[in-house]
């Protein structure tokens, strides 16, 4: 019988779903609680592992993580398969992205400030979502879900992906990163939902940020280092870009005295758009995880195995 270690704090109903599997399940809230005998025998681990623990698990053959991002596991031995929770976060993160897009378009940050100051007035430079050109840089589950919702609101949608294939019918044009610069000056909104690979690091530096229109909005929910923070602050202080809506940033967590906090027209949320414990996200993730456990127990390949070369 397959021994599976499940880490993290889970409600009884989720534990019961694990117990219903034809496997030996060991629950631990913290990895420090794992007994040596379980480390020695476990073939599957659900949760987040470090190299020190992996070295103590000679029978380990699968790791199932709760996140979609898997770029921190480059050290993992090739014989251990790594599965992520791809697809579980797309809809919730897309809703967050639509929310911040509309807030920036409708000057909500400024109106909230006016409310705090008890001021009554009209800010006239609002944007319409309908007819706006929306570019998703990254066309995985998150970027695709965002464009689907943007299209429903009347946006004209464009996408960037590593290779051009499977273009959704609601996307006007799909290009590669090598072709992206031609689209940037035309876009009203540019939304990043990229994995944390070396190819992505610093992708939006000052040169690319200045390719965007002065009134463009940039969003980032993927990895903070896709945007060069100092460059973003510099161009925004010079009046370029309507808004930057950041759920991820570099560095993270953002230090209390970091200038990004007080940069005008920046909307900051603390990496919450795809929060594992945020309501429906948790249920979606656990559906993916438990389905993968069923497949492993049946001797079948789990879904969403991470490509080590790509990092996702």
The residue to which tokens 């100051």 are assigned? 117
Cross-strand partners of 156: 133
Mean pLDDT of 231-254: 97
Q: What is the pLDDT of residues 19-31, one digit of tens each?
A: 999 999 999 999 9
Give the pLDDT score at 312.
66
Lowest model confidence (mean pLDDT) among 175-189, 206-220, 252-266, 274-288: 274-288
pLDDT at 69: 78
* pLDDT exceeds 80 at position 308: no
Indicate if 90-268 has the same CATH topology as 3-88+277-297. Answer: yes
Query: Which CATH superfamily includes the segment(s) 3-88+277-297?
Result: NAD(P)-binding Rossmann-like Domain (3.40.50.720)
Residue for token digits 């989720």? 14
pTM value is 0.88
Q: Give the burial string for 210-247 (b: 16+ CB within 10 Å, else e).
A: bbbbeebbbbbbbbbbbbbbebbbebbeeebbbbbbbb
Residue 75 confidence class, pLDDT cut points 50, 70, 90: confident
Which phi and psi angles does 309 have, rounded to 5°? Answer: -70, -35
Confidence category of residue 47, pLDDT binned at 50, 70, 90: very high
Q: Where are the domains of the chain?
A: 3-88+277-297, 90-268
Return mean pLDDT, the chain.
94
Give the pLDDT of residue 124. 87
Q: Is the pLDDT of residue 68 over 90?
A: no
Dump the DSSP string for 37-48.
HHHHH-SEEES-
Reference 247, options 88, 92, 114; nearest CA is 92
> Yes or no: is domain 90-268 CATH 1.20.1080.10?
no
- Identify whether the C-beta of residue 155 lies closer than 8 Å to the C-beta of residue 130: yes
pLDDT per position as a tens digit, 126-182: 999 999 999 999 999 999 999 999 999 999 999 999 888 889 999 999 999 999 999
Rg (CA), the chain: 22
Question: Which tops the pLDDT comparison, 195 or 97?
Answer: 97
């Amino acid at each position: 019988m397959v021994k599976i270690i499940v880490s993290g704090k889970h409600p009884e109903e989720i534990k019961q779903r694990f117990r219903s599997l034809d496997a030996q399940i060991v629950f631990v809230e913290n990895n420090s609680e794992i007994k040596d005998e379980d480390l020695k025998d476990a073939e599957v681990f659900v949760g987040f592992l470090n190299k020190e623990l992996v070295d103590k698990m000679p029978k380990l053959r699968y790791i199932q993580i709760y996140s979609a991002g898997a770029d921190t596991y480059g050290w993992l031995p090739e014989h251990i398969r790594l599965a992520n929770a791809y697809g579980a976060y797309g809809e919730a993160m897309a809703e967050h992205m639509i929310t911040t897009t509309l807030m920036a378009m409708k000057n909500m940050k400024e109106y909230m400030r006016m409310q705090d100051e008890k001021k009554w007035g009209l800010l006239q430079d609002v944007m319409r979502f309908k007819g706006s050109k929306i570019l998703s840089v990254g066309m995985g589950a998150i970027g695709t879900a965002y464009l689907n919702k943007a299209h429903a609101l009347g946006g004209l949608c464009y996408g960037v992906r590593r290779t051009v294939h499977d273009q959704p019918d609601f996307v006007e044009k799909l290009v590669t990163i090598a072709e992206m610069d031609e689209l940037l000056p035309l876009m009203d909104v540019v939304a990043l939902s990229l994995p944390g690979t070396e190819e992505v690091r610093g992708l939006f530096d000052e040169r690319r940020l200045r390719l965007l229109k002065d009134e463009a909005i940039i969003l980032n929910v993927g990895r903070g280092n896709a945007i060069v923070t100092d460059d973003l602050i510099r161009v925004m202080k010079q009046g370029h870009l309507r808004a930057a809506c950041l759920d991820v940033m570099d560095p993270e967590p953002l230090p209390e005295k970091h200038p990004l906090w007080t940069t005008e027209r920046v909307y900051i949320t603390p990496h919450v758009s795809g929060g594992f414990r945020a309501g429906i996200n948790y249920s979606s993730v656990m559906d993916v995880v438990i389905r993968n456990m069923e497949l492993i127990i049946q001797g079948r390949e789990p879904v969403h195995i991470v490509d080590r070369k790509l990092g996702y």
